[in-house]
Chain A
């Protein structure tokens, strides 16, 4: 590391010198051709676009999301945690929040007897890390939402087998 630093220190004065010489001969640093040839209005616009603008945090993407208007007005989103598969004991895939739309008409296709639906949003399956993210997503897209299956804190109780046979519980059945 120190070797590199030494080498840099040795080369630095010469680099400065070359830079100064360039500046004296050209009167300003090397110009980018696209900047040099641009009209002043164009430069102004470019400067403005490179900056930032202030907008409200709450934005409704409904008009530009491409979702049909009638779908935006009528649909309601259910935000929930997916249930555990009843046939398996693993719980690793239920730590997400999902959004789901209300069900629309389905019918049996007369040709093959397959199930059909005209609902473009029935297969939208988005997973979120938290409930708040899902709510933000719904609000940005202009959908009505409700949170289903919010986790309630469980009531604490003492789990002790012996308590079932306590003298004051009257849970002992007489054998006589």
Chain B
């Protein structure tokens, strides 16, 4: 059903959010990346996180590469807007150390898989 619908109409006309073509969206994403990249030394200093600048930059790259397969211009724009908001929150120190460290997700323990550790943690 959904497949047939998609075959019927592959493209649609919509209102743009920020960018009108792919090139513009790409420029916005690159600008955001550069802004984060330049801000990282100050973030590491201000928040006093136990990470080096290189580690932060590799994490930044990872976060951007995660959305590599996104092709829709509007989705790219929304991602850029969200990234911009996060940057603003970070720069203005509206976040705290834990919010920054959440990118590494160290506080989330992997779930136990074998019987004994499940039993000890009380997880079925």
Contacts of A55 in B (CB 8 A): 11-12, 14, 72-74
Q: Does B35 contact A (CB under 8 A)?
A: no
- Kindly identify, within residues 7 to 23 of chain B, every residue whose CB is under 8 Å from any CB belonging to chain A: 9-16, 18, 20-21
Q: Complex Cα distance A59/B14, Å?
A: 12
Q: Does B67 contact A (CB under 8 A)?
A: yes
Majority SS at the chain A contact face: mixed
Q: Does B100 contact A (CB under 8 A)?
A: no
Q: Which residue of A lies closest to B123 (CB)?
A: A105
The range of chain B's interface size is: 20 to 34
Contacts of A60 in B (CB 8 A): 70, 72, 75
Q: Complex Cα distance A163/B63, Å?
A: 72
Contact, CB under 8 Å: A49 / B20: yes
- Kindly identify, within residues 123 to 140 of chain A, every residue whose CB is under 8 Å from any CB belonging to chain B: 131-132, 135-136, 139
Q: Complex Cα distance A136/B20, Å?
A: 25
B8 to chain A, nearest CB (A): 9
A23 to chain B, nearest CB (A): 33
The size of the chain A interface, using a CB distance under 8 A, is 21
Q: Does A48 contact B (CB under 8 A)?
A: yes
Contacts of A132 in B (CB 8 A): 1-2, 5
B72 to chain A, nearest CB (A): 5
- Kindly identify, within residues 45 to 82 of chain B, every residue whose CB is under 8 Å from any CB belonging to chain A: 67, 70-75, 78-79, 82
Most chain A CB neighbours (cut-off 10 Å) among B12, B18, B73: B12
Q: Does A149 contact B (CB under 8 A)?
A: no
Q: Complex Cα distance A131/B98, Å?
A: 42
Contacts of B13 in A (CB 8 A): 52-54
Q: Does A40 contact B (CB under 8 A)?
A: no
A99 to chain B, nearest CB (A): 14
Most chain B CB neighbours (cut-off 10 Å) among A52, A61, A63, A131: A63
Q: Complex Cα distance A58/B72, Å?
A: 9
Q: Which residue of B lies closest to A59 (CB)?
A: B72
Q: Complex Cα distance A131/B82, Å?
A: 32
Q: Name the one of B11, B16, B20, B75 contacting A63, with C-beta atoms under 8 angstroms.
A: B75
Contact, CB under 8 Å: A52 / B15: yes
A57 to chain B, nearest CB (A): 5
Q: Complex Cα distance A136/B12, Å?
A: 15
Q: Does B6 contact A (CB under 8 A)?
A: yes
Q: Complex Cα distance A57/B12, Å?
A: 6
Contacts of B9 in A (CB 8 A): 57
15 A–B contacts, CB within 8 A, in A order = A51-B20, A52-B16, A53-B13, A54-B11, A54-B12, A55-B72, A55-B73, A56-B10, A57-B6, A57-B11, A64-B75, A132-B2, A132-B5, A135-B2, A136-B5
Point out residues on B near A: beta carbons under 8 Å.
Answer: 1-2, 5-6, 9-16, 18, 20-21, 67, 70-75, 78-79, 82, 123-124
